[in-house]
Structure 1
Amino acid sequence: MTTALQPPLPSHPLLRLRLAPHGVMPRPIDGAWWPRSYDLLVELPRLLAGLPRAWGHVNSVTVNGAAWSEVPGRMLVSNQVVRLRRNLTASAPHTVVLLAPGRGRWDLLVVPPDTAEEAAEPLMAGAAGDLGGAASHG
């Protein structure tokens, strides 16, 4: 029997995720996610696979905003069912909410996929709380 070595899949680019440090103070945003597209069926499995194990199994995801592709009621991710919802309220148009029973809720800022790296980096850093005292200009 021979075993062929599998080269890394080019369809699995680096996850662009930055999380705020775990602390005792509640935060309105727990980090930032910069997906490569608004195709939730492609992007969500990558996001969930890259989350800290301590977060447990996220079984409910709410995306905010109308830009996302069609959102089915649920999808299978790593042999686990994840419920999906879309929220169109104006209060948090660019966020995703992740729920894990018994573990918690995490709200992530979603940086639009077509954002230039120069613009995305300060957004990611600000959401993760690691600005290092640098002033941000908008």
Structure 2
Amino acid sequence: MTITTERTMTDERVPSPPARLSLTPEGAPPGLLDGAWWPRSRDLFRELPALTDRLDRCWGRITHVTVNPTHWPVIPPKVPVTGHTVHVGWFTDEQDPHKLILLSYSAGRWDLLVIPPETSAASAARLMSAAATPGSLLTASRLMDDEDAIRDATEDRGRESEWDTEGGAEPPPLRHPIGLPTSAQER
């Protein structure tokens, strides 16, 4: 028995939850980043509408977005958003892999740290705060490297604590091994 199914494609988008976003305060000294975005997936077609819905209101109509394809499996050339279309481009060598660049004809350019969707809430909160720090000169990749170091150190401490509580800690070294003379007089 053969079953045939017809695939239907549609340009309609499923409504996404509001974008998780942290922005530098308006009027703050400029830095290398204007904030951070924590998407729920690596699907630009699904994630960009929620982001532009939030940003169009405060920054003006977003017309273009660029990404580095390192962390995005599919980069659609255009994404329909509320009331218009956003053109999507990509750069490999010229753009930080952890950064999204947004362009608006009326208001300029913004650079956002992109926090990977699988990031824990605690790490995402630290990253969102750091990326929205006014006047910061840290790049998106530097922020991610710093967060990786924090996560690794926390995991190492957790493993050491677990090792110690399971009896895996070594006893402190003896000052004078038992059975061996400690000085020439004892010989």
Matched, 1:98 2:102: yes
Structure ranking higher on relative contact order (CA contacts 8 Å, 6+ apart) = 1
**Distance between the aligned counterparts of 1:14 and 1:102, measured in 2?**
24
Aligned to 1:128: 132
Q: Using the alignment, how far apart are the partners of 1:79 and 1:38 within structure 2?
A: 23
Classify the secondary structure of the residue corresponding to 1:46: helix
Percent identity over the alignment?
A: 42
The structure carrying a bigger helix percent of its residues is 2
Residue 110 of structure 1 is matched in structure 2 by: 114
- Residue 4 of structure 1 is matched in structure 2 by none
Number of aligned residue pairs: 124
- Given that 2:18 and 2:51 are in contact with CA atoms closer than 8 Å, whether structure 1 keeps it comes out as no
Give, in angstroms, the shift of residue 120 of structure 1: 1.1
TM-score where L is the length of structure 1: 0.79
Contact 1:97 1:106 in 2 (8 A): yes
- CA radius of gyration, larger in: 2
Structure 1: gaps of 5 or more residues: 1-9, 131-135
Query: Structure 1 or 2: larger strand share?
Result: 1
Contact residue 78 and residue 88 of structure 2 kept, 8 A: yes
* Alignment partners' CA distance in 2, 1:32 and 1:87: 19
**Secondary structure of residue in 1 paired with 2:117:** coil
TM-score of the two chains, using structure 2 as the length reference:
0.60
In the aligned structure 2, how far is the partner of 1:12 from the partner of 1:50? 12
Separation in 2 of the partners of 1:120 and 1:65? 21
Corresponding residue of 2:43: 39
Q: Is it true that 1:87 corresponds to 2:91 in the alignment?
A: yes
Give the aligned CA root-mean-square deviation in angstroms: 2.2
Instruction: Output the CA distance in 1 between the equivalents of 2:74 and 2:19.
Output: 22
CA distance in 2, matches of 1:79, 1:102: 16
